[in-house]
């Protein structure tokens, strides 16, 4: 059985159109029957142009919004039915899946030091942890993401974009999740920093066996990190294959167009 199974997931929105006199509504099929599966430790790359439904899919997977229909099974547990386990258990089960966002500054509390942010995230999983054990865990998390533990006393604004994304990754790891969804985690970073963060995520997969869905509009970035690639178009997965196969022999015209949009490095011009 796959570790993560997404079965015929739909998320539709209703949008009001027309005027006051003649109100009308239109249905947006943001996620329109997505089925995918991941093995433990797999990184799935999800690509597609702006507005194709990538973020809506990730929010529906994370139960940040209620899917219209379909289900999501993570390690045998149906994430769409968490409430059946009761409020308290549902809150704990939610810790099994964490997100990393494009803008780490917006996702970190500007008034909390890094230490407080990590403390809070660790406490959620281990409410009765001793101070000493928690500190040890915080130092370990900082080391995992390549940051010096001494900077934990600082606030998010005192870091660079790349460092902030490392902190956001540490916070996502703190509750020991089974699944991480990263929605455009490197899109706002300089190219040189992008590869550092991608390498960090690959290292974490190797060390911790993390299972991850990595979302990007950039096929080049996804090729670097993903085992398999799913191409999304208008709410549906139109192509799914191992990363190299998608790259070298794409089947769909749309995928070919996405590939041709990847910027090519200019040929060396200087002697």
**Given the rule CB under 6 A, which residues bind ligand ATP?**
13, 15, 28, 30, 48, 50-56, 217
Q: Which stretch binds Mg ion (CB under 5 A): 53-61, 86-94, 104-112, 253-261?
A: 53-61
CB of 55 to Mg ion, least distance (A): 3
- Closest to ligand ATP by CB, 163 vs 255, is 255
How is residue 118 written in tokens?
A: 């990590």
- Closest to ligand ATP by CB, 168 vs 173, is 168
Q: Which stretch binds Mg ion (CB under 5 A): 49-57, 93-101, 129-137, 248-256?
A: 49-57
Count of positions on this chain that bind Mg ion (CB under 5 A): 1
CB of 171 to ligand ATP, least distance (A): 22
Chosen from ligand ATP, Mg ion, none, partner binding at 52 (C-beta under 5 to 8 Å by type)? ligand ATP
- Closest to ligand ATP by CB, 13 vs 155, is 13
* 56 near Mg ion, judged by CB under 5 A: no
Chosen from ligand ATP, Mg ion, none, partner binding at 67 (C-beta under 5 to 8 Å by type)? none
Pick from 55, 117, 165, 211: which binds Mg ion (CB under 5 A)?
55
Chosen from Mg ion, ligand ATP, none, partner binding at 250 (C-beta under 5 to 8 Å by type)? none
- Closest to ligand ATP by CB, 114 vs 232, is 232
| Strand order, beta sheet including 97-100 | 97-100, 179-183, 211-216, 43-47, 228-233, 236-242
CA dist., res. 132 & res. 268, Å (int): 54
CB of 219 to Mg ion, least distance (A): 15
Chosen from ligand ATP, Mg ion, none, partner binding at 216 (C-beta under 5 to 8 Å by type)? none
HEC sequence for the chain: CCCEEEEEEEEEEEEEECCCCCCEEEEEEEEEEEEEEECCCCEEEEECCCCCCHHHHHHHHCCCCCCCEEEEEECCEEHHHHHHHCHHHHHHHHCCEEEECCCHHHHCCCCCCHHHHHHHHHHHHCCCCCHHHHHHHHHHHHHHCCCCHHHHHCCHHHCCHHHHHHHHHHHHHCCCCCEEEEECCCCCCCHHHHHHHHHHHHHHHHHHCCEEEEEECCHHHHHHHCCEEEEEECCEEEEEEEHHHHHHCCCCHHHHHHHHCCCCCCCCCCC
CB of 264 to ligand ATP, least distance (A): 22
CB of 80 to ligand ATP, least distance (A): 18
Binding site for Mg ion (CB under 5 A): 55
């Amino acid at each position: 059985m796959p570790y993560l199974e997404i079965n015929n997931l739909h998320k539709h929105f209703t949008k009001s159109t027309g005027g006051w006199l003649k109100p009308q509504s239109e249905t947006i099929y943001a996620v329109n029957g997505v089925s995918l599966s991941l093995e433990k430790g797999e990184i799935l790359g999800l690509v597609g142009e702006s507005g194709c439904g990538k973020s809506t899919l990730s929010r529906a997977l994370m139960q940040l919004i209620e899917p219209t229909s379909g289900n999501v099974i993570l390690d045998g547990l149906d994430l769409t039915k968490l409430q059946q386990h009761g409020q308290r258990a549902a809150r704990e089960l939610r810790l099994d899946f964490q997100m990393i966002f494009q803008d780490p500054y917006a996702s970190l509390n500007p008034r909390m030091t890094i230490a407080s942010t990590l403390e809070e995230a660790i406490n959620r999983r281990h409410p009765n942890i001793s101070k000493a054990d928690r500190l040890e865990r915080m130092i370990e998390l900082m080391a995992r993401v390549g940051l010096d533990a001494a900077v934990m006393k600082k606030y998010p604004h005192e870091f660079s974009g790349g460092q902030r994304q490392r902190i956001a990754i540490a916070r996502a790891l703190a509750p020991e999740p089974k699944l991480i969804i990263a929605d455009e985690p490197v899109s706002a970073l300089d190219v040189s920093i992008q590869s550092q963060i991608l390498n960090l995520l690959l290292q974490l997969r190797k060390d911790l066996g993390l299972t991850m869905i990595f979302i990007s509009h950039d096929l080049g970035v996804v090729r670097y990190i993903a085992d398999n690639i799913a191409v999304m178009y208008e709410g549906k997965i139109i192509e799914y294959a191992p990363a190299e196969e998608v790259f070298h022999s794409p089947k769909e015209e749309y995928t070919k167009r996405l590939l041709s949009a990847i910027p090519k490095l200019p040929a060396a011009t200087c002697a």
